[in-house]
């Protein structure tokens, strides 16, 4: 029988910093949940793509948007905004960026295990 767990982002298990952003990871119940903060001016293409080394973001995301507005462009060209209070499901193959002057904060339940993780060869 599994034991109950309760953890918070005040003491994350791992923190990853990248240009104009920060990712805090909490591992609980065999899952990894991430809280990402993206500052105004953040774009996936300029701030994370150099780390990921892929044409577009290949991490699928299932996330709750806490604050700010994030514009997402899928590889097929479909573009839409996610704002505070939204829940989004983003399959692999997208770009994203912060719209406006407010930081974007998301809680991601799926795609943050390898997000912005430096790969050493």
Band (116; pLDDT cuts 50, 70, 90):
confident
Chain centre distance of CA 2: 28
Chain centre distance of CA 74: 15
Among the listed residues 47, 27, 24, 38, the one whose alpha carbon sits nearest the alpha carbon of residue 67: 38
Q: What pLDDT is recorded for position 120?
A: 54
Q: What pLDDT is recorded for position 119?
A: 61
Work out the average pLDDT over 44-66.
95
Work out the average pLDDT over 87-112.
96
What pLDDT digit, counting tens, does each position of 66-87 carry? 999 999 999 999 999 999 999 9
Instruction: Break the chain into its structural domains and give their ranges.
Output: 14-108
What CATH number was assigned to the domain covering residues 14-108? 2.60.120.10
d(CA 80, CA 39): 19
d(CA 57, CA 27): 22
């Amino acid at each position: 029988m599994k034991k109950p767990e309760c953890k918070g982002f005040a003491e994350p298990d791992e923190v990853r910093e990248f240009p104009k952003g920060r990712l805090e990871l909490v591992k609980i119940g065999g899952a990894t949940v991430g809280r990402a903060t993206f500052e105004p001016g953040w774009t996936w293409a300029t701030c994370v793509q150099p780390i990921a080394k892929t044409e577009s973001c290949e991490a699928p995301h299932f996330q709750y948007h806490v604050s700010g507005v994030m514009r997402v462009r899928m590889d097929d060209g479909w573009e839409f905004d996610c704002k505070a209070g939204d829940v989004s499901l983003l399959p692999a193959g997208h770009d994203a960026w912060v719209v406006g002057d407010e930081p974007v904060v998301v809680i991601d339940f799926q795609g943050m295990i390898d997000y912005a993780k430096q790969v050493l060869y």
